Amino acid sequence: MVKLPIYLDYAATTPVDPRVAEKMMACLTTAGVFGNPASRSHSFGWQADEAVALARQQVADLVNADPKEIVWTSGATESDNLAIKGVAHFYQKKGRHIITCKTEHKAVLDTCRQLEREGFDVSYMDPEPNGLIDLDKLAATMRDDTVLVSIMHVNNEVGVIQDIAAIGELTRSRGILFHVDAAQSAGKVPIDLETLKVDLMSFSGHKIYGPKGIGALYVQRKPRVRIEAQMHGGGHERGMRSGTLATHQIVGMGEAFRIAREEMTEENARILQLRNRLWNSLKDIEEVYLNGDLEHRVAGNLNVSFNYVEGESLVMALKNLAVSSGSACTSASLEPSYVLRALGRNDELAHSSIRFSIGRFSTAEEIDYTIEAVRNSIGKLRELSPLWEMYKDGIDLDSVQWAAH
């Protein structure tokens, strides 16, 4: 019998791997490495410093970077803020134009909005309907005063993988800095910063079986990228991010990245098999739409719209499944997912979307239970749906005069 509820929201966060938790617990009490890594005058500090150095190496190893290029932060949101504001502020005499995409995470979009309030100019590109950036359109958006392009590697909602190698070629040839939010891709897609022409990259601990509250920013050294610090204090992290290093969090993130590096290939194959099992059993349902490109997609993500069924009620029907919906009936605005809207999905399909994200501890039994539960719920909710009834009666819903409220 499968244990309920089933967790299928790995893109939101992941449980800490037990191996990671063990390493973390060894950095807290008197029996462990509790010292301040910045303490230079005794062994407590030296040991903590060593633990941090090892973790920095482990994070760097996963993405083939130099440990000196890794700056610890509190998470990917802070990394995005530090990268974008840091570059914008440092290079503002060179130019004040930034390019990003409408499907970026709010940590990027809201940071750009803040820079607009400070007088910077931001272009928000539309992705193609499959979620990917068109390189020609990106090139056409670049200007002489463009200083930064910020494009995420893997999208958190639809899981599509951007061609950051090609984007990097484009930005480097134009002398523009390139920031990549890799919160959803590290440990899931191979990343080689030695060859990629990426200048800044954001990482998160808790998306890859590490703890919450820790992240990192890759700041390239050759060619050297400068950023203006956003957090001032003791001059930690070579002045780029002050604040006492959280040894246990850092050690946890390091171990999580080490495990990802060793097990990624095998794990991806297993997760992809589960994802295919799920999609192959859902795609024959009438009026079902996959959101985002299937081929250029991270293994664990499946984002599907079940037309004529509202997402939040579907989440309620799937009460034994932990999944996310692109419908936002709870918010004051009633606006559905901005990512799906940017992909050109109409409001109905955006309101009808469910994101399943599969991970390390997902099993085939869980997927089979999910398939059964989804198929039953869709049937039940469509029986309840006036839109489904109209669709079945051959009425074109776009021709109806709806009273928006």
Partner 1 sequence: MAYSDKVIDHYENPRNVGSFGNDEKNVGTGMVGAPACGDVMKLQIKVNDDGVIEDARFKTYGCGSAIASSSLLTEWVRGKTLDQAMAIKNTDIAEELALPPVKIHCSVLAEDAIRAAISDYQNKADK
Q: Which amino acid is at 363?
A: T
Q: Are 131 and 103 in contact (CB under 8 A)?
A: yes
| DSSP state at residue 123 | E
* 331 lies in the site for partner 1, by CB under 8 A: yes
Minimum distance between the CB of residue 141 and partner 1, rounded to whole angstroms? Answer: 29
Which among 162-170, 174-182, 230-238, 332-340 is the span making contact with partner 1, rule CB under 8 A?
A: 332-340
Which x/- pattern over 285-314 shows residues binding partner 1 (rule: CB under 8 A)? -----------------------xxxxxx-
Closest C-alpha to 104, from 71, 85, 119, 126 = 126
Q: Is 251 helix (H, G, I), strand (E, B) or coil?
A: helix
Which x/- pattern over 140-169 shows residues binding partner 1 (rule: CB under 8 A)? ------------------------------
Q: Is 329 a catalytic residue?
A: yes
* 397 lies in the site for partner 1, by CB under 8 A: yes
Q: Looking at 37, 168, 336, 359, which residue binds partner 1 (CB under 8 A)?
A: 336
Size of the site for partner 1 (CB under 8 A): 31
* 396 lies in the site for partner 1, by CB under 8 A: no
How many whole angstroms from its chain centre is CA 352? 21
| DSSP state at residue 154 | B
* 347 lies in the site for partner 1, by CB under 8 A: yes
Q: Which amino acid is at 86?
A: G
Instruction: Work out the angle at residue 334's Cα, subtended by the Cα atoms of residues 351 and 389, and round it to the nearest 5 degrees.
Output: 45
* 399 lies in the site for partner 1, by CB under 8 A: no
Which C-beta is closer to partner 1: that of 334 or that of 364? 334
Q: Is 186 helix (H, G, I), strand (E, B) or coil?
A: coil
Contacts of 95 (CB under 8 A, 6+ apart): 143, 144, 145, 146, 147
Minimum distance between the CB of residue 348 and partner 1, rounded to whole angstroms? Answer: 4
Minimum distance between the CB of residue 33 and partner 1, rounded to whole angstroms? Answer: 41
Minimum distance between the CB of residue 129 and partner 1, rounded to whole angstroms? Answer: 19
Count of residues in the chain: 405
Minimum distance between the CB of residue 284 and partner 1, rounded to whole angstroms? Answer: 22
Q: Are 4 and 320 in contact (CB under 8 A)?
A: yes
Using CB under 8 A as the binding rule, the residues of this chain from 355 to 394 that contact partner 1 are 383-389
Q: Rounded to whole angstroms, how far apart are CA atoms 280 and 285?
A: 10
Q: Rounded to whole angstroms, how far apart are CA atoms 187 and 207?
A: 9
| Enzyme catalytic residues | 329
Residue ranges that bind partner 1, judged by CB under 8 A? 308-313, 316, 327-332, 334, 336, 346-348, 351, 383-389, 397, 402-405
